[in-house]
């Protein structure tokens, strides 16, 4: 039985283990963090988002980022002084943020998200009662007519390409979710979106994987090197542990870039740091997840309360908590949900995580040119949880030498490698 070592025990790594094991591989999952440790897979907004068919690299994003860059509480930041990698990444991002790129990406992003949603439904049956998939859609809520008008156009395009979206005034929104008081002019209901509680899903998936015979080596140390040894790949950790495998899957988020470089593949990626806070006893609990659009804040009802998250701080990963950004999130919420107060968020634990962002807004999925026995699964930006199952299924197909269920040429991890 061929052995696969998966580096990373987040949503992408665990879903890759799930489908690789279904293909008959002997699967090992290794991660420097102990089981249940907070990561980008646990503190995120928990949304599955077919609505997100426009990549991060899109028209208007550069100018909006520049306007926000020097506002302390704005939902975007660019770390200064920038590293050379930041500068190069930004240059590539600017080169992609145009209508032509959006048009090229919308089909693959639509298909990835819709297929992933179907796979979540199948996994819900397979995993049992360990987690709940809430299929009530996503509300995009607006305070300003300008932003609302732009989203109406996006809703029209969504319907044209097979994603269900409907436009509502405040009265219509109240009918969709009467459990929360809103102070907005209107919104768009993306009906195919859904949400879940990330840590509950991950716990249920780990339990299922152990039942399937997947091996775990967690809380060990980081990966120090990847070395080809004849027809094997040797993974060596910082503590000197060695894992000899037929294949390796790199699913370690923003740290995947360094591992790809070890086998000669330059894969531009920046950390997009985000923050979240979870109210365990909120004054109101919505039944539908939402995005507060002008504030760029995500709101998700979960099994342990209501989670509020946002901010995109681009740069190299660090554990510094920017309290101005956290305050910006808390201050924005009463403007949309007036029964909440900024003081509700005082003293709450602040989670932070690093979204692995590619400059073109598409994930990296496929074999690395430097070693075809190494498969990359990273770079999902804000859609890591949303695209977990479909990424895992594609990784399983790649490992088994099968034709991919979806065309993945655009997702090649080698697309920035110079020939």
pLDDT of residue 32: 86
Spatial CB neighbours of 362, under 8 Å, sequence gap ≥ 6: 55, 105, 108, 109, 379, 410, 411
Distance between CA atoms of residues 340 and 342, nearest Å: 7
Distance between CA atoms of residues 258 and 261, nearest Å: 5
Where the chain has pLDDT below 50, the residues are none
Is residue 376 classed as helix, strand or coil in its secondary structure? Answer: strand
Q: Where are the domains of the chain?
A: 3-41+200-267+361-411, 53-192+269-357
CATH top-level class of 3-41+200-267+361-411: alpha beta
pLDDT of residue 197: 95
- Asked whether the bond before 389 is cis by omega within 30 degrees of 0, the reply is no
pLDDT of residue 62: 86
Name the nearest CA neighbour of 268 among 282, 248, 278, 254. Answer: 254
Where does residue 92 rank: exposed (0-12), middle (13-18), buried (19+ CB within 10 A)? middle
Q: What is the DSSP string of 29-55?
A: EEESSPTT---TTTSS--EE-TT--S-
- Residue for token digits 């004054």? 283
> CATH fold of 53-192+269-357, please?
D-Amino Acid Oxidase; Chain A, domain 2 (3.30.9)
- Cβ atoms 405, 394 nearer than 8 A: yes
pLDDT of residue 39: 65
Residues in the chain: 419
- Cβ atoms 248, 4 nearer than 8 A: yes
- Distances from the Cα of 140 to the Cα of 19, 30, 62, 193, 280, angstroms: 33, 37, 22, 11, 23
Distance between CA atoms of residues 352 and 273, nearest Å: 7
Backbone angles phi, psi at 142, to 5 degrees: -130, 140
- Cβ atoms 26, 2 nearer than 8 A: yes
Where does residue 226 rank: exposed (0-12), middle (13-18), buried (19+ CB within 10 A)? buried
- Cβ atoms 180, 285 nearer than 8 A: yes
- Cβ atoms 413, 401 nearer than 8 A: no
Helix (DSSP H) and strand (DSSP E) numbers for the chain = 10, 20
Fold match, 3-41+200-267+361-411 / 53-192+269-357: no
- Residue for token digits 């000197």? 240
């Amino acid at each position: 039985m061929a052995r696969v070592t998966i580096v990373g025990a987040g949503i992408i790594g665990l879903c890759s283990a799930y489908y690789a094991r279904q293909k008959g591989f002997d699967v090992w999952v290794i991660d420097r963090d102990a089981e249940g440790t907070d990561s980008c897979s646990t503190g995120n907004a928990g949304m599955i988002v077919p609505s997100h068919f426009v990549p991060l690299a899109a028209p208007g994003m550069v100018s909006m980022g520049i306007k926000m860059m020097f506002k302390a509480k704005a939902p975007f930041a660019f770390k200064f002084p920038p590293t050379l990698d930041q500068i190069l990444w930004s240059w590539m991002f600017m080169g992609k943020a145009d209508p032509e790129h959006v048009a090229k990406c919308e089909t693959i992003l639509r298909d990835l998200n819709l297929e992933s949603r179907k796979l979540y439904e199948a996994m819900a049956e397979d995993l049992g009662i360990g987690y709940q998939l809430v299929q009530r859609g996503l509300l995009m809520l607006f305070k300003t007519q300008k932003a609302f008008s732009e989203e109406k156009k996006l809703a029209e395009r969504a319907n044209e390409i097979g994603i269900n979206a409907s436009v509502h005034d405040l009265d219509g929104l109240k009918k969709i979710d009467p459990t929360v008081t809103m102070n907005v002019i209107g919104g768009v209901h993306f009906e195919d979106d859904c949400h879940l509680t990330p840590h509950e899903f991950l716990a249920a998936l780990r339990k299922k994987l152990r039942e399937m015979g997947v091996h775990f080596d967690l809380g060990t140390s980081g990966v120090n090197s990847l070395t080809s040894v004849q027809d094997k790949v040797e993974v060596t950790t910082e503590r000197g542990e060695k894992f000899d495998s037929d294949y390796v899957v790199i699913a370690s988020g923003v740290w995947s870039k360094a591992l790809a470089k070890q086998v000669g593949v330059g894969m531009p990626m920046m950390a997009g740091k985000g923050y979240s806070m979870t109210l365990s006893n909120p004054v109101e609990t919505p039944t539908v997840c939402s995005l507060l659009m002008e504030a760029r804040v995500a709101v998700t009802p979960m099994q342990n309360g209501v989670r509020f998250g946002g901010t995109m701080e681009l740069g190299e990963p660090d554990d510094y908590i920017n309290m101005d950004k956290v305050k910006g999130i808390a201050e924005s919420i009463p403007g949309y949900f007036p029964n909440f107060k900024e003081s509700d968020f005082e003293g709450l634990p602040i989670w932070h995580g690093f979204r692995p962002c590619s400059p073109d807004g598409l994930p990296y999925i496929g074999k690395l040119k430097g070693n075809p026995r190494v498969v990359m699964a990273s770079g999902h930006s804000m859609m890591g949880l949303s695209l977990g199952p479909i990424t895992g299924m594609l990784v399983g197909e790649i490992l088994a030498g099968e034709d991919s269920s979806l065309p993945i040429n655009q997702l090649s991890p080698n697309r920035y490698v110079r020939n």
